[in-house]
Amino acid sequence: MMDDSFRGTRTVTAIFDTSAEAERAVDRLRAAGVPDDQIRVTAGAGTSYSDVVDYDDPFYRTRHRGFWDALADFFLPDEDRYAYAEGLTRGAQLVTVTGFDPMLHERIADILDDEGSVDLDTREAEWRAAGWSGYEGSDYYRESGTAAGIGRTIGNAVDRAGDALAHGADRVGDALTGDQTLRGFVAQIRLRASCP
């Protein structure tokens, strides 16, 4: 289970091996007072969890890429996003709870644990023992070079904009464009887009 805060919004994410476990967790979350709009379920592939995966199989790679892309708006670190995509590719179910009343945090974590959420570190160790290389050995990691640097810069600028909002800044745009590096990246992108 991942418990994280992103710009003041609490998020708890848990992965389950079966849809029945995820459904029970969601039912209990609702009963505990968590509104439906704060609960998100991402269904994994139609197959069950398995220790053996052919990582070169095009079908596996296409499914994994689809889950990787689907998790882009979760604001997860890439390593966690990759692990969750692996779990979903193997048939797991992902339950994410966001924006909830902080008084419900402990109750939410208990419900997810009680209903069988997977210990992701333990599961990753099992996958590695079966040949999984993790994020560092993935194509996504190799592709991230420059994109990761740009992403970190943009992420930092967005964080500053969020801080500016939290502190009553009149113009969020000033926070976003106040970064010389970000302006340089934007200028490079515009230049490359205009070249044939």
pLDDT digits (tens, 9 = 90+) for 89-119: 999 999 999 988 888 999 999 999 999 999 9
Q: What is the dihedral of CA 183, 68, 127, 107, to 10 degrees?
A: 90
Beta-bridged to residue 10, according to DSSP, are 5
Calculate what percentage of the chain has a pLDDT beyond 90: 36
Residues of the chain with pLDDT under 50: 5-7, 146, 169-176, 190-191, 193
- Contact in structure between 99 and 38 (CB atoms under 8 Å): yes
> What does the alpha-carbon distance between residue 187 and residue 176 come to, in Å, rounded to a whole number?
14
